[in-house]
């Protein structure tokens, strides 16, 4: 796999050495068990796969090369490069301005942009509508486009089945930049619907089977279906794709449920005419990181730290996987570990940072699980490990 030129302050020599050792021992990724590292009275269980993925490193390399190659031009990012505050603040400190936040709230009016400006499209991609605005302003949308190739893979698969008149069911978060981009691209070729989870898939299943009033679709999925959607014909042929950072197990469960729904309605002999076999469209890094988190959850740890941006979808899913097995603290960086008695961490269920007191078990020796999201620099994980050693050892 290609090696990227990214700033040295994002890397950790220690973690790079651990990753290189595991890759040498297990080049085909058949062993997802964690790496054990003992420091004094602490045993760290470090996930087999974590941290920057291909798409993130590609985006960061392009962003910094753009800065170096264009010292006299204004450089903008459509929104956050990736969902990590450290990386976004670093880019901002080098003079890159953000046009909008990750919810679409505008910081820079489109009228302020000129054809001489550079606009970097983030790793999540962007909508066709925004791309057309940039094209109309004669702003280059190709050279500085950092859209992850695995996101583009989803778009291509959606286009393929869309051209065969299948409606695209997108498993994703409707407000997430990637899902908005996928919805926009999918709607170009076909009808599309966004569903958040298995519960919404169950509602869609009931609508398809006429177990509830069909018109309920328009209120339940308000603002999450494409223009001109006709409930009487646009759910006769469907295919499932996803936001690449969703839980793999849930995407599979949604696809299985909707497949069984179409069998029930049309018969197994007619399935191919009503359900597209899209297989799994999660990216390799999401799969690897989630498989590694599952392997971590099977260990006998006292607690876990998951490191990453609080608005990172793929990181929050790692928390979901680990918190079933032991106390799990989702932190953005080492500064959140205040002392042996106090920690600030993000509660994914209430969507707020919270404080926990006396969070450590009353013992002298600790086993601690560690992982991070695909947008988290290894250097931050390194700092977290050092902070834990500092307060416990």
Quick: pLDDT tens for 136-184. 999 999 999 999 999 999 999 999 999 999 999 999 999 999 999 999 9
Sheet of strand 303-307, all strands in order from the earlier edge strand to the far edge: 35-39, 42-46, 366-372, 303-307, 328-331
User: 239 — phi, psi (to 5°)?
Assistant: -145, 145
Range 152-276: architecture per CATH: 3-Layer(aba) Sandwich (3.40)
CATH class in words for 8-52+284-392: alpha beta
Pairing of strands 35-39, 42-46: antiparallel
Mean pLDDT, rounded, of the chain: 94
For residue 238, count other CB atoms closer than 10 A to its CB.
25
pLDDT at 280 over 90: no
Portion of the chain with pLDDT greater than 70, in percent: 99
54-136: CATH, from 3.60.15.10, 3.40.50.11270, 3.20.20.70, 3.40.50.10310: 3.40.50.11270
Same CATH fold assignment for domains 8-52+284-392 and 152-276: yes
> For 53-72, what is the mean pLDDT?
94
Query: Tokens 């941006």 identify what position?
Result: 309
Q: Which position among 131, 178, 200, 323 bears the catalytic label?
A: 178
Portion of the chain with pLDDT greater than 90, in percent: 89
Token output for 117: 């400006």
Q: Where are the chain's structural domains?
A: 8-52+284-392, 54-136, 152-276
Burial tier of 338 (Cβ tally within 10 Å: 0-12, 13-18, 19+): middle
pLDDT at 307 over 90: yes
> For 21-37, what is the mean pLDDT?
95
pLDDT at 1: 59
pLDDT at 284: 83
pLDDT at 2 over 80: no
pLDDT at 242: 94
> For 361-388, what is the mean pLDDT?
95
pLDDT at 48 over 70: yes
At residue 276 the predicted structure's pLDDT band, cuts being 50, 70 and 90, is very high
SS3 180: helix
Taking the whole predicted model, whether its pTM rises above 0.85 is answered as yes
pLDDT digits (tens, 9 = 90+) for 115-143: 999 999 999 999 999 999 999 999 999 99
User: Which of 176, 180, 185 has the alpha carbon at shortest distance from 157?
Assistant: 185
Angle (nearest 5°) at CA 290 between 184 and 323: 110
**Catalytic-residue membership of 250:** no
Rounded Cα distance between 339 and 22, Å, is 32
Please write down the HEC assignment for all residues of 209-222: CCCCCCCHHHHHCC
Greatest alpha-carbon span in the chain: 66
Rounded Cα distance between 183 and 198, Å, is 19
> For 225-248, what is the mean pLDDT?
95
At residue 346 the predicted structure's pLDDT band, cuts being 50, 70 and 90, is very high
At residue 112 the predicted structure's pLDDT band, cuts being 50, 70 and 90, is very high
pLDDT at 321 over 70: yes
> For 379-392, what is the mean pLDDT?
95
Rounded Cα distance between 59 and 1, Å, is 15
At residue 281 the predicted structure's pLDDT band, cuts being 50, 70 and 90, is confident
């Amino acid at each position: 796999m290609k090696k990227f030129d990214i700033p040295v302050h994002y890397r950790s020599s220690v973690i790079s050495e651990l990753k290189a050792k595991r890759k040498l021992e297990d080049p085909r990724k058949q062993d997802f068990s964690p790496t054990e590292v003992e420091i004094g009275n602490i045993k760290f269980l470090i996930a087999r796969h974590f941290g920057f993925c291909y798409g993130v490193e590609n985006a960061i390399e392009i962003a910094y090369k753009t800065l170096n190659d264009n010292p006299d031009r204004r450089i903008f990012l459509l929104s956050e490069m990736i969902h990590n505050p450290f990386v976004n603040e670093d880019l901002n400190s080098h003079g890159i301005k953000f046009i909008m936040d990750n919810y679409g709230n505008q910081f820079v009016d489109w009228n302020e942009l000129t054809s001489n400006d550079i606009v970097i499209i983030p790793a999540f991609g962007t909508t066709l509508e925004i791309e057309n605005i940039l094209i109309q302003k004669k702003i280059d949308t190709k050279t500085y486009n950092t859209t992850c190739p695995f996101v583009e893979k989803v778009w291509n698969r959606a286009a393929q089945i869309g051209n065969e008149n299948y409606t695209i069911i997108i498993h994703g978060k409707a407000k997430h930049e990637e899902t908005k981009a996928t919805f926009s691209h999918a709607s170009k070729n076909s009808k599309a619907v966004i569903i958040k989870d298995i519960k919404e898939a169950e509602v869609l299943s009931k609508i398809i089977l006429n177990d509830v009033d069909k018109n309920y679709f328009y209120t339940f999925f308000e603002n999450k279906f494409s223009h001109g959607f006709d409930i009487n014909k646009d759910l006769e042929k469907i295919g499932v794709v996803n936001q690449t950072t969703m839980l793999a197990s849930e995407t599979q469960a949604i696809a299985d449920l909707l497949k069984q729904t179409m069998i029930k309605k049309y018969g197994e002999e007619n399935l191919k005419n009503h359900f597209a076999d899209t297989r799994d469209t999660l990216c390799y890094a999401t799969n690897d990181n989630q498989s590694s988190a599952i392997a971590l959850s099977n260990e006998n740890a006292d607690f876990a730290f998951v490191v990453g941006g609080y608005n990172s979808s793929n990181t929050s899913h790692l928390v979901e996987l680990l918190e079933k097995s032991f106390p799990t603290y989702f932190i953005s960086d080492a500064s959140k570990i205040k002392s042996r008695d106090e920690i600030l961490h993000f509660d994914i269920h209430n969507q707020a940072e919270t404080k926990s007191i006396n969070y450590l078990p009353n013992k002298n020796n600790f086993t601690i699980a560690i992982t991070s999201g695909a947008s988290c620099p290894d250097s931050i994980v390194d700092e977290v490990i050092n902070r834990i050693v500092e307060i416990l050892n």
